[in-house]
A and B are shown apart, each in its own frame.
Chain A
Amino acid sequence: GESVGLHLPTLSVQEGDNSIINCAYSNSASDYFIWYKQESGKGPQFIIDIRSNMDKRQGQRVTVLLNKTVKHLSLQIAATQPGDSAVYFCAEKSNFGNEKLTFGTGTRLTIIP
């Protein structure tokens, strides 16, 4: 069945460095991908999204890359700050059927001061 998985469950990065969080998906019908940030005790917060007709999208300090050939998604965070410490989830949505999002288990990013 469809699944979204993450390569690394934890990631520690020095403050000021760049971080890269990776995600693999298996559903070829996925046409929309989202990265969420979830801080302890809070709901997921939208960071950035990308559609399947794109391979790169940039936001403020964040970039999402999509490689449909290998079904891989990544989130790059530039010049990390302590406030970037959180769990990051990728989620995907298929253009068939209902509008559900399928999430992976998440990567915990820790910024080291």
Chain B
Amino acid sequence: ETGVTQSPTHLIKTRGQQVTLRCSSQSGHNTVSWYQQALGQGPQFIFQYYREEENGRGNFPPRFSGLQFPNYSSELNVNALELDDSALYLCASSGGAEDTQYFGPGTRLTVL
């Protein structure tokens, strides 16, 4: 186990709704990255937070937003959900002298 936790495990929403996903980073890590993984594909980078500031963003619209808290845990918020937002959302933590990102188990989001 990596020590990275995510909640909830599964979530079902309808189009137009908003969702908040949560991630707790591994002890000692100050960086959290979020990825979206569609079925049968590799994870796609959404954005990264380092010491409570956004540190890079992938090709996702502004309705995907995030936060990082002083304890380095993080939230991913998605507004105006679309059917294509159905995916596994992964968070990964890293930090210190390591480049390695360690992933949590993911949150499976289904948009109906």
Contacts and interface: CB of A to CB of B under 8 A. Distances in A.
Contacts, number: 66
Given A93-B99, A99-B31, A99-B55, A42 B105 contact: yes
A100 B103 contact: no
Chain A contact patch, size range: 20 to 34
Contact of A101 (B55, B101, B104): B101
Contacts of A104: 42
Contacts of B100: 34, 46, 49
Interface string A79-113: 00000000001010100011111111110000000
A45 interface: yes
Interface of B: 2, 4, 31, 33, 35, 40-45, 48, 50, 55-58, 90, 92, 94, 99-106
Interface of A: 4, 32, 34, 36, 42-46, 49, 89, 91, 93, 97-106
